[in-house]
Structure 1
Amino acid sequence: MKKAKMIFWITTIIIFIFEGVMPALTSQSEMAKEGIRHLGYPEYFGNALVVFKILGVLVLVIPQVPNRIKEWAYAGFAFDFIFASISHFAVDGIDFQSFFPLIILAILMISYIYYHKIERYKNNAI
């Protein structure tokens, strides 16, 4: 169980940093705004995305949040990463930026799998 918790928290903290901390600190920079425009999205879309990313990572890291809400946060991030990858493929073609969201998606999937392993252990221990 210790290994499962460690893997869960390492992967979840990576998601927390990439999808919560970094967007919160950099979303209003000119580079971030240009990145949204480059993909063809309006600036308000980027602002809304940052708000939902911050809320989503808080849902993932706060243990008291109900499981059903955590499931929605995981699903939301999965959609975000898939569509980010599609957007980059459509605009930039095949390059590292197109694959990077899929790498983060893999990390999210590991977090999700270990979240459920920990939950199963808790439910069996009761």
Structure 2
Amino acid sequence: MNTKTIKITYWISTAIVSLMMIFSSYSYFTNPEVKQGFQHLGFPDYFRVELAIAKILGAIILLAPIKEQVKEWAYAGFAITFISAFIAHSASGDPINNRIGPIVFLVVLALSYFTYHKAKSVATL
């Protein structure tokens, strides 16, 4: 891949993850069905609020020109979130479509992560 393709892939994949995290955070605060979903999974209500705030912060960190070490924490946090969501939905016996979403976003997150590091090694973003 050339540098331009790497940068485009990075920004598109990062924007997709960040927008999805902002959208899900908004839903966590405003959608009663999402609140019920957290109860269904066995999580306390305060966790929904904490997770929404963490997702907003993580999305901002991924998009902002911030130190690499801080971005690494955001990537790790999102990876843990997606893996945990897959496990929670699987353990609760939810349908397969509820389990697939977190895995799809984990793949998009991985694409963002690897192209971020590739772009950093070739040139600056």
TM-score by length of 2: 0.92
Question: 1:7, 1:34 → 2: CA distance?
Answer: 36
- Alpha carbon RMSD of aligned pairs, Å? 1.2
The alpha-carbon distance between structure 1 residues 96 and 75, as it changes in their structure 2 partners (threshold 3 A), is: same
Structure 1 equivalent of residue 85 of structure 2: 84
Number of paired residues?
Answer: 121
4+ aligned runs moved over 3 Å, structure 1: none
Question: How far has the Cα of 1:31 moved from its partner?
Answer: 1.1
Task: Give structure 2 stretches of 5+ with no counterpart.
Answer: none
> CA contact under 8 A between 2:86 and 2:103: conserved in structure 1?
yes
TM-score by length of 1: 0.91
Matches within 5 A, 1:12-23: 12-20=14-22, 22-23=23-24
Q: Residues 9-55 of structure 1, C-alpha deviation per residue, up to 9 Å, x if partnerless?
A: 110011011112x1232222201111111100011000000000000
Code of the aligned partner of 2:10: F
Code of the aligned partner of 1:46: R
> CA contact under 8 A between 1:92 and 1:98: conserved in structure 2?
no
Question: 2:40, 2:16 → 1: CA distance?
Answer: 26
Task: Give structure 1 stretches of 5+ with no counterpart.
Answer: none
Percent identity, please: 36
Q: Residues 29-86 of structure 1, C-alpha deviation per residue, up to 9 Å, x if partnerless?
A: 20111111110001100000000000001000002x1000100110000000000000
